[in-house]
Amino acid sequence: MNTRFKLLKKCGSGGTGEVYEALDLRLKRKVALKRARRDARGDHRERAARLVREAEILALVQHPNVVAIHDLLEEEDSVSIVMELVDGIPLGELYKKQPMSEGELLGYLRQLIAAVERVHSADIIHRDVNPRNVLVTPEGIVKLTDFGLSSSIHDPEPRAGGSLGYMAPEALRRGRRLGFGVDIYGLGMLAYQALLGAPAFQKLYGTVKPMAWARWLLSRERFRTLVELFVPVSPALSVIVAKMLEKDPKLRYQRITEVEKDIDKLGTRVDSGPSRGPSLGAAVRRLLPALLARPQEKSP
């Protein structure tokens, strides 16, 4: 391990790497350090190659709403990505007990749309847009993280994987070329859950086992709209979320800019995250210590 960095604590792990909070001894600042996992399962060299690819993607898609890369460390027996350490909590924590309002959700969604638009402009698909990979700072700034599964739009056979609850139906079918629509679907599912609230979403879908969920996702039965579920949102937003969640990728939004255009039509209902002021900061700061003390296990 590079002697420049002192590991402070483990923050989480996934199929490719483990993430640590670390201290950069040279620059005297805390960073996030992601390094390839070493265990009996899988090929360490393959994981290291994936980490190098993730670093290249992060360098390509720099944006205020995307976690920033500082460096790539390649040593004889290890590969690590040095990134900014985001002082924030997973977005899902903000609707864990009660739903978000329309204005609150749209404030975050607009930032995420900007992040995804930047990613797509580089012909990259994130492929794992979910609340655990979206961090919110006390100032209400959103950061999209974890590009470990990301691939080129031109990849004919992308690597399988993802978070089942946020995977578009076409992503469940092996050997199929994926489009930007998988990220739009992930954003739609995030918005759907946030406006319903985690308890209501769990009541509707939480008891479904993984295989049963996959079968339902591949069926023609559609998601019930927010208006049908009596969620207090505008009909226009309900239509937008429903179109983001279309199971048939041909019926879904084709470009994230199309989503942005329809969101902009909602006008004054949109509240930017940072403008929500001290109340958000207090909520994030209250939740942050407990969350940082708890390692986050992630899907591959």
Active site residues: 128
Q: Which residue has the tokens 């924590």?
A: 93
Angle at 157 between CA 152 and CA 163, to 5 degrees: 75
Q: Which residue has the tokens 């942005």?
A: 260
Q: Which residues partner with 124 through β-bridges?
A: 152
Q: Where on the phi/psi map is residue 288: left (φ > 0), alpha (ψ -120 to 50), or beta?
A: alpha
Read off the tokens for 296: 């986050």
Q: Environment class of residue 236 by beta-carbon count within 10 Å: exposed (0-12), middle (13-18) or buried (19+)?
A: middle
**Packing angle, helices 235-244 and 181-196, rounded to 10:** 140
